[in-house]
Structure 1
């Protein structure tokens, strides 16, 4: 089995980066495989938050 490793250096505070990626609504901006993402329910993003992501191409939305 092949293994691939990689890394990215981000010039931003860790809290800012965490908040960006924890809110899946932002994923289409940095993941070209995701067409759309929306939060299910109201309120701030936090433990228990749920999202619906729609991939590009074949496939179906995943929760």
Structure 2
């Protein structure tokens, strides 16, 4: 059983800048309040096989989540999947970027969430909450990327 959420937002920054910012998952705490900390291994540029280790807080509980980049096509496409074992995981997620006619970038973010064990029962609630927050999440991405200039 899985559920998906997505958001599309236009960012007033060139596609190369947006891609570079989003490809460095260590920026996630700037636009995702649930992410308390983010580390990257190995150091250096993000590439296929890079793993981002995060500490997140969901529903008042802290957990560790590890996401591996499995596809990276600069400056238009990034895909990840969660390699940690939690009750609800992001089986697949990603960014799709395309330039806009005014020199900005259209960003599509999505995550496919999957429940495991008790997470199967919680998945509809988690998916609903993620979909409700998606527009605000998009606005936070836009604000953070534009402020990074």
Q: Considering the TM-score relative to the shorter chain, is it more than 0.5? A: yes
Structure with greater proportional strand content: 2
Query: 1:18: how far off?
Result: 1.2
**Structure with the bigger percentage of helix:** 2
TM-score computed with the length of structure 2 as normaliser = 0.36
Give the equivalent residue in structure 2 for 1:36: 37
Larger Rg over CA atoms: 2
Q: How many residues are matched? A: 61
In the alignment, structure 1 segments of 5+ residues that lack a partner are none
RMSD over equivalenced CA pairs, Å: 2.1
State how far apart, in whole Å, the 2-side matches of 1:37 and 1:19 are: 16
Matched, 1:58 2:49: no
TM-score normalized by structure 1? 0.77
- Hey, which bits of structure 1, 4+ residues long, moved more than 4 A? none
d(CA) in 2 for partners of 1:61, 1:27: 15
